[in-house]
Amino acid sequence: MKVKFIIFIVLPIFSFFACGEVTSAQKEATTTSEPNLQTMIGQMIMVGTRGMTIEEVSPQFKAQIKTGKIGGVILFDYDVVKKVAHRNIQSPAQVKTLITGLQKEAPTPLFMAVDQEGGRVNRLKPKYGFPTSVSAQYLGTLDNVDSTAFYANRTATLCRELGFNVNFAPAVDVNFNPESPAIGKIERSFSADPAMVIKHAGILIEAQHAKGILSTLKHFPGHGSAQADSHYGVTDVTKYWQESELIPFENLGKSANNVAIMTAHVANQNLDADYPATLSKKIITGILREKLGFQGLVFSDDMQMKAVNAQFGFETLLEKSINAGVDVLVFGNNLEYDEMIPTKAIEAITKMVEKGTISKKRIQESYDRIKKVKHQLQE
């Protein structure tokens, strides 16, 4: 854990290369092409879609992939809007085929993401033919490194075999409030002790790194003390948040097994009186980048969650999060559904760059981080 953190990751070839060869066009797109502004912005967009097969994915969505308006896709098993367990995940073979099909549509290799923490946050469920998983709380309470390593290796191997290259795990929120509806109450935290969180999260990170899966620490700057769930509304942690919630992010963010970090939509008046973390330059740039020295990729939490979506307009969300320092804007498209979110986001961000409210330099910074990762994946 003492090794100096290197700007982004040097990993073995990611799993989507095991599911299909990178085309010459894809390789050129991530190595020699000089991108235009909209291409760079497109790489910053990760979005969810519907469809169990590539044939079921809508023509509009595939067209946006083909034209470089989507840099990543996140898959779910449950469709929240339709309230049915029919979205993207049905069986191991089906998921692998779907991911391969999506990659073939893309001019630049896609980030393929899943939330596979284990326990309640578990998209790859046994009922679909996937191995059993356990919660972070179970592993932290057991405190057996061999058990944690067993489940970590199972998760990493599974993600690689299916073609995922990003896992939005581990959650490194410290369990300061066991009744927190989004964290403690559903057993997503390893422990109330930051050192225990680091110990067990580090094992998962190491296993995923070995299999070419990008780990994503969440939810910065800490969601474990919250008394509300940011999926459904404002989540103000001002009275409850403790500075020690930063310890796992600082420690694991500088580890040799390089990682990404996902923001939280929590509000903390003591850190930023105006904006929740995802939209806060004081928190993402000031604390995460400058104070903690994190140089890797920053993902937003789902931009359609009510903690931000109900308070701020679409353009404000885009402008503030990018200027805060977010590199990849995640639209799960599962709390609400809009097939054309990528195109709308790119058009809005392009106008902001033209007006000067977002600088082209800021877009270039995120694009360069993303490009660096995707280039390394094909070496």
Q: Is there a contact between 353 and 360 (Cβ–Cβ < 8 Å)? A: yes
Contact 257, 206 (CB under 8 A): yes
193 in catalytic set: no
At 118 the three-state DSSP class reads strand
Q: Cite the DSSP H helix spans in 107-210.
A: 136-142, 145-162, 194-210
What is residue 180's three-state secondary structure? coil
Q: Is 231 a catalytic residue?
A: yes
Tokens 């990729």 identify what position? 297
CB 80 within 8 A of CB 335: yes
**What are the structure tokens assigned to 83, written together?**
């309230």
What ranges make up the beta strands (E) of the chain? 45-48, 72-74, 111-114, 116-118, 121-122, 166-167, 214-220, 260-263, 298-299, 329-331
The catalytic residue among 115, 301, 302, 327 is: 301
List the catalytic residue out of 79, 193, 231, 338: 231
Burial of 289 (0-12, 13-18, 19+ CB in 10 A): middle
Type of residue at 121:
V
Return d(Cα 176, Cα 180) in angstroms, integer.
8
Other C-beta atoms closer than 10 Å to the C-beta of 94 total: 16
Q: Are 257 and 298 in contact (CB under 8 A)?
A: no
Q: Which residues are catalytic?
A: 231, 301
